[in-house]
Amino acid sequence: MYVVTLTSDPAAPALDGAAVSALRNAWGGGDIRWLATGEAAEFPLPAVPDTFRQAWDDFQQMRIDLNLQPAEGRRKKMLLADMDSTMIRQECIDELADEAGVGDRVKEITARAMNGELDFEGALIERVGLLKGLPESVIAKVLAERIELMPGGTALVATMKAQGGYAALVSGGFTAFTAQVAALVGFDENRANTLIVSEGTLTGEVGRPILGRAAKVEALEQITARLGLSEAEVMAVGDGANDLGMLTRAGAGVALHAKPSVAAECELRVNFGDLTALLYLQGYAREDFAA
């Protein structure tokens, strides 16, 4: 048995009951369950329809995300999340680069690295090198003035933890940011790279070993082993090429507002909703949210 989930942007709900009913009828699905009026709905389905991808394309035109997954085991026991452009709206290194006056150059490298066009480690070393000489105090300034949490993140983490789940933040960014974001959102642990500082100034170097794609997979393996969970019990979320390892290994890998090359590798895609879509995918209704 499968479950079809339709979600839209909570800030601009676009889910129409007639459209949901028409899809359910066309596919011979079961009873429709509304998870949030105008925002999220689901229905069971006995098999994967041949027309799924065409329907997905059609609903994308309506700014609605259509996902299909096995019904069994979809409520996960662990969340493994990327940070930049996932749990927060920004890329931290791009914001630091703006303060250093090298924003355009760094943003270009970031975009290419996240789309899988550049080696992540080499791209990170190059970008951090451009930050050499930046006062360490700028990190606090960027956190206070430039960083915005992705909507729905606190509810996602709180709701999964209320059901006994565990939440880990794993980032190719920097511990100076993950520590703050993890504390704000409620993560149980965080892993990231370290910016090297000397006498209150960034040296342009990043600590080794560099946490990239392989390290995110290692986090998945290590944390599940420590908690006695299977990888099938994990929901992972990210947007960049360095997230693909964990996204394809986890029981549910969600490409959130992802680069096209990343989304193409993932079965679960959220292009219009926020992080609450990950709760709807697990069958939580709005009234079930812990925060």
Beta-carbon contacts of 266 under 8 Å, excluding residues fewer than 6 positions away, are 244, 247, 248, 253, 254, 255, 258
Instruction: Report the C-alpha gap between 35 and 50 in whole angstroms.
Output: 26
Q: Which residues pair with 36 in a beta bridge?
A: 40
Residues 6 or more apart in contact with residue 49 via CB below 8 angstroms: 27, 55
The residues that are catalytic are: 82, 84
b vs e for 86-101, b when ≥16 Cβ sit within 10 Å of the residue's Cβ?
bbbebbbbbbbbbbbe
CB 170 within 8 A of CB 84: no
SS3 at position 169: strand
Return the HEC string of 196-207: EEECCEEEEEEC
134 burial via Cβ count (<10 Å: 0-12, 13-18, 19+): buried
